A and B are shown apart, each in its own frame.
Chain A
Amino acid sequence: MSGPFHSMSISGSGMDVYQTWLDAIADNVANINNVSPTSGAAFQERFVIAQAQESRRGGYEGAYVEKVELGDPNGQVVFQPEHPMADEEGFVRVPSIDLAQQMTHMLVAQRAYQANVSAFRSARDAYQRALEIGR
């Protein structure tokens, strides 16, 4: 991905990465109270793995989402004998996701997205100023 206005595409790739992270956090929060039987796996937390895009000719190519890793399938085993999914001993499995941590991750992802928008904006302004040189 290369063109005359390259720094704008770099910021765009950063926005894509943080959008994916925000999606993953939303998924984690949406499933945080899922209950599964002890025979099955708990909901696994999503971890977005981002990496710098390698450039062949040198220079900067931005970031991309390499993969999405899954967290601990064991979760936490909780005693809830009244739950319809509980086993004979009264245990169910719930995901081991920390809501406070998800919220701080969300703030980081949101601010980082905004930072990329700022970088995009200043790159665009710089190009516009460059076009004004000849005027």
Chain B
Amino acid sequence: MTVPIPPASSAGSALTTTLRDSDSAQPNVAVPTPPPTAAVESPTTIEGFAKVVNDALDTVSQLEYGADSASQQAATGDLSSVSDFMVATSDAQLATEMTVAIRDKALAAFNDILTMQI
């Protein structure tokens, strides 16, 4: 089940789709496997803004995993508490919005540099 994403962040849904595709590249099983803790593996240590983005992506994929398993419990009738489901999905939605906000800012900075007069 897809996490509800506000219409303003249509590009963000493409982002999450990419995340999902990389997850489903692993053997396809009924229960979604938890995403690896480090979403981007790099030989050098990541620091600065890249680290912020990396951590945010980690958080998003973990929260989306939580929302996914809550949705699955709701579909199979194993859901014990409705509030847990709503908290998980709201968490995932806000995390996605946060990622989109960070991406927008990074892109804006990149574009500013591109259009800089030399």
A and B associate in one complex: yes
Contact residues of A with B, CB < 8 Å?
A: 3-5, 8-9, 11-12, 15-16, 19, 116, 120, 124, 127-128, 131, 134-135
Complex contact A134–B59 (CB within 8 A) = no
Taking CB atoms, residues of chain A closer than 8 Å to B59 are: 3-4
Main secondary structure of the interface of A (DSSP, over half): helix
* Interface magnitude class on chain B: 10 to 19
Q: With both chains docked as a complex, state the minimum distance between the C-beta of B16 and any C-beta of chain A, in angstroms.
A: 16
The interface centre, meaning the residue of A3, A11, A135 with most chain B CB atoms within 10 A of its CB, is A3
Complex CA gap A100/B98 in Å reads 48
Given contacts A4-B95, A8-B94, 9 further A-B contacts (CB under 8 A): A3-B63, A8-B87, A8-B91, A19-B83, A120-B90, A124-B90, A124-B94, A134-B104, A135-B104
Taking CB atoms, residues of chain B closer than 8 Å to A116 are: 83
Complex contact B83–A5 (CB within 8 A) = no
Complex CA gap A19/B85 in Å reads 14
Complex CA gap A9/B81 in Å reads 13
Selected A-B contacts with CB under 8 Å, 13 pairs:
A5-B94, A8-B90, A8-B94, A9-B87, A12-B83, A12-B84, A15-B81, A19-B81, A124-B90, A124-B94, A128-B94, A134-B101, A134-B104
